[in-house]
A and B are shown apart, each in its own frame.
Chain A
Amino acid sequence: MSRQVEIRELYRQRPRSRFLRWSSAALAVLAIASWFSGELGTDDLFSARRLANLERFVGELVPYPLQGEAFDAGVAFRWARDLMAEKGWAAAGKTLALSVAAIVLAAFGALVLAPAAARTFASPEPYLPGPRPPGPLRRTSWKAVVWGGRALLILFRSMPEYVLAFLLLAMLGPTAWPVVLALAIHNSGILGKLTAEIVENLDPKPMAALRGLGARRPQIVVFGLYPLVFPRFLLFFFYRWETCVREATVLGMLGVVSLGYWIVDARARNHYDEMFALILVGAAIVVLGDLVSILTRELVRRFG
């Protein structure tokens, strides 16, 4: 076989997929069509009126005591310190607390729902064959459990947190619950799906051993699945916590006193300097959360 033929053979064997190509092409066509749809008003953004608006806005981003003055680091520092003392620190703490409460609840939800959505566990005879093959009724009912569990998880994660919080707020009134629950529901959908995938990929032998010793389903879950799932679950837990921090900042806009609340409040009062500073505080919290999450995930990877 000549070199040419060999190369052609390799070329033919390269990994490729018609599905991926068509999908990418479809997305590209959709993107181009969206720009030509006439909905976006691309030329309008740089009209003279908007640019004048922008110039005024940029001027107002400077802390109020410094507007039209020479820059003075002392004045700027005192302004920032007062802003933080008045609302910044408390709001930052609440934002963090929202994300922590939400992710802990989401973890509970995910750990309860995941076994039901895992095909290996939610079957008539999990991990070991029973004395008799299961009848058609038992097989279909366990299939129904899996599909029900999956449908619930998909429904949970397809709802944006903001919409959920908006709807819950009307029912539960202005406590922190609507935001916590909205974040928890959305993230238990995501964590639950990921955990169910971990459960399905587990080595079945430990669970088979437990079942062989006479363990019932709840015991298999608590003493078999949870300990085995734990390290990888923690990775996903912290990865989702990162996004919870981001979302918690924003969900404050609905009225819970997190950073988002003070940001829209400052905007409503046209205090753009304050709005900008608080957005920066939000960014700092997100960066901090990312760092903590990266660090813990590395620890889990190393020792878990």
Chain B
Amino acid sequence: MWLPSLASVWSESAWLRAWRSGIGWRGLVIGALAVAGLWAAVVLDLDPRDLVPGPGGLAQGKEFLSRAFKPALTYEADFVPEGTQPLPFKVLKAVRTTVIFAAAAISLAVLGGLILGSLASTAWWFEDPAGGSTRLRRVFLRSVAPVVYGGTRVLISLMRSVHELLWAVLFLAAFGLSNFAAVIAIAIPYTGTLAKVFAEILDESPREAAAALRAAGASPAQVFLFGLLPQALPDISAYAFYRFECALRSSAVLGFFGYPTLGYYLAASFENLHFGEVWTYLYALIALVLVVDWWSGALRRRFVA
């Protein structure tokens, strides 16, 4: 008796009307995210009262923020050894090292990304319309190609899934402090990301030229080099530029692990409570990122619709 009445209540309910009127799935998603957020807050003991800093933290925070408009131009330490280079030079040197780490890492990553990305792109090895002209090629396409393709995909995802700082920690343990190892630590996950995106760009670029070349008898390598790659190149370089910006941030943060980039000096000044110097390094980092951000943004606006 009560079952049908329950059904009628449900069918009359505002919930169902809301569901029918089309806001249903949005409401569902927002509700799910709210539940997820609450779960996270509970797991992490996020208490809004902890957002109010203690008296010590408050004083330090005030002092830190008050120096935002007065970044240091000279050292704040009471004793500066004779012959220490002036602070602006030291900042510029840190900026230089940060750029060097990032540029070296991105150059390795672009090379690796191009190789792995083209192996992970379906555009050229699965698209032989004749299914391979010779027996050997047919066997190759059915056996070797899928293995190489799948293997590359797995490799890319492995490289990407370990953060550059974790690679850096691994290499620190394996080699000790070595700048070259830091560059490789950045380059590995960046290679994975670039390879993934390059493969997507290659797969999405128009295929007409490639098909024409193929019909004219070009080999798969020729089709790739002259039919696919030239069209994808603008997008590829624009994206590489964007990743260079990210590499600058990563390279600066590596300093926290003892490498001579911006993060190293920033952390050292902060721990000595030299907040003016901290702001100098922060502004240097922000300026560096902004320049490249503007540059890569201008490139993307022109090419990537």
Q: Are B39 and A171 within 8 A (Cβ)?
A: no
Please, what's the 1-or-0 string for B219-253, where 1 marks a CB less than 8 Å from any CB in chain A? 00000000000000010011011001000011011
Q: Which of B78-112 contact A (CB under 8 A)?
A: 97, 99-101, 103-104, 106-107
Rounded to whole angstroms, the CA-CA distance of A267 and B165 in the bound complex is 13
Known pairs A166-B256, A167-B270, A176-B45; A23 contacts B237 (CB<8 A)? yes
Q: How far is the CB of B55 from chain A (nearest CB, A)?
A: 11
Known pairs A57-B173, A177-B46; A159 contacts B33 (CB<8 A)? no
Q: Are A40 and B103 within 8 A (Cβ)?
A: no
Q: Are B57 and A50 within 8 A (Cβ)?
A: no
Question: A159 contacts which of B46, B179, B286 (Cβ < 8 Å)?
Answer: B286
Q: Are A263 and B99 within 8 A (Cβ)?
A: no
Q: How far is the CB of B25 from chain A (nearest CB, A)?
A: 7
**Interface residue count on the B side (C-beta < 8 Å):** 80
Q: How far is the CB of B289 from chain A (nearest CB, A)?
A: 4
Please choose the segment from A72-80, A119-127, A207-215, A245-253 that sits at the chain B interface, where 4 or more of its residues have CB less than 8 A away.
Answer: A245-253
Rounded to whole angstroms, the CA-CA distance of A287 and B159 in the bound complex is 11
Please choose the segment from A1-9, A13-21, A63-71, A130-138 that sits at the chain B interface, where 4 or more of its residues have CB less than 8 A away.
Answer: A13-21
Q: Are A267 and B166 within 8 A (Cβ)?
A: no
Rounded to whole angstroms, the CA-CA distance of A247 and B181 in the bound complex is 21
DSSP class of B's interface residues: helix, strand, loop or mixed? Answer: helix
Please choose the segment from B129-137, B138-146, B295-303 that sits at the chain A interface, where 4 or more of its residues have CB less than 8 A away.
Answer: B295-303
Closest-by-CB residue of A relative to B111 is A31
Q: Which of A12-42 contact B (CB under 8 A)?
A: 15, 17, 19-20, 23-24, 27-28, 30-35, 37, 39-42
Rounded to whole angstroms, the CA-CA distance of A70 and B243 in the bound complex is 44
Known pairs A37-B100, A101-B40; A53 contacts B166 (CB<8 A)? no
Within 8 Å CB of A117, what residues of B? none
Rounded to whole angstroms, the CA-CA distance of A98 and B45 in the bound complex is 11
Within 8 Å CB of A45, what residues of B? 175, 178, 180-181
Question: B178 contacts which of A17, A30, A50, A246 (Cβ < 8 Å)?
Answer: A50
Rounded to whole angstroms, the CA-CA distance of A45 and B45 in the bound complex is 44
Query: Is B14's CB within 8 Å of the partner chain A?
Result: no
Rounded to whole angstroms, the CA-CA distance of A54 and B36 in the bound complex is 42
Question: A180 contacts which of B44, B166, B174, B249 (Cβ < 8 Å)?
Answer: B44
Q: Are A34 and B103 within 8 A (Cβ)?
A: yes
Within 8 Å CB of A19, what residues of B? 298-299, 302
Rounded to whole angstroms, the CA-CA distance of A50 and B178 in the bound complex is 10
Within 8 Å CB of B289, what residues of A? 158
Known pairs A40-B179, A154-B290; A20 contacts B161 (CB<8 A)? no
Q: How far is the CB of A84 from chain B (nearest CB, A)?
A: 17
Q: Are B44 and A41 within 8 A (Cβ)?
A: no
Query: Is A94's CB within 8 Å of the partner chain B?
Result: yes
Please, what's the 1-or-0 string for A252-269, where 1 marks a CB less than 8 Å from any CB in chain B? 010000001001100100
Closest-by-CB residue of A relative to B34 is A104
Known pairs A98-B40, A154-B290, A173-B50; A104 contacts B234 (CB<8 A)? no
Q: Are B162 and A282 within 8 A (Cβ)?
A: yes
Rounded to whole angstroms, the CA-CA distance of A236 and B41 in the bound complex is 22
Question: A30 contacts which of B99, B176, B181, B256 (Cβ < 8 Å)?
Answer: B99
Question: A163 contacts which of B101, B175, B282 (Cβ < 8 Å)?
Answer: B282
Query: Is A44's CB within 8 Å of the partner chain B?
Result: yes
Question: B29 contacts which of A97, A227, A234 (Cβ < 8 Å)?
Answer: A234
Q: Are B299 and A20 within 8 A (Cβ)?
A: yes
**Interface residue count on the A side (C-beta < 8 Å):** 76
Which of A94, A100, A304 has the most chain B CB atoms inside 10 A of its CB? A100
Within 8 Å CB of B278, what residues of A? 167
Which of B25, B43, B163, B302 has the most chain A CB atoms inside 10 A of its CB? B163
Known pairs A40-B183, A160-B249, A282-B166; A275 contacts B173 (CB<8 A)? yes
Rounded to whole angstroms, the CA-CA distance of A170 and B64 in the bound complex is 10
> What are 14 contact pairs spanning A and B, CB under 8 A?
A19-B302, A23-B237, A34-B101, A41-B178, A45-B175, A53-B176, A101-B37, A101-B46, A155-B286, A167-B278, A260-B166, A263-B169, A275-B169, A275-B170
Contact surface of B with A, Cβ cutoff 8 Å: 23, 25-26, 29, 33-34, 36-37, 39-41, 43-47, 50-51, 53-54, 57-58, 60-61, 64, 97, 99-101, 103-104, 106-107, 157-158, 160-163, 165-166, 169-170, 172-176, 178-181, 183, 234, 237-238, 240-241, 244, 249-250, 252-253, 256, 263, 266-267, 270, 278, 282, 285-286, 289-290, 293, 295, 298-299, 302-303
Other A-B contacts than A93-B43, A227-B23, 6 sampled, CB-CB below 8 A, are A40-B183, A101-B37, A162-B253, A162-B256, A176-B46, A177-B50
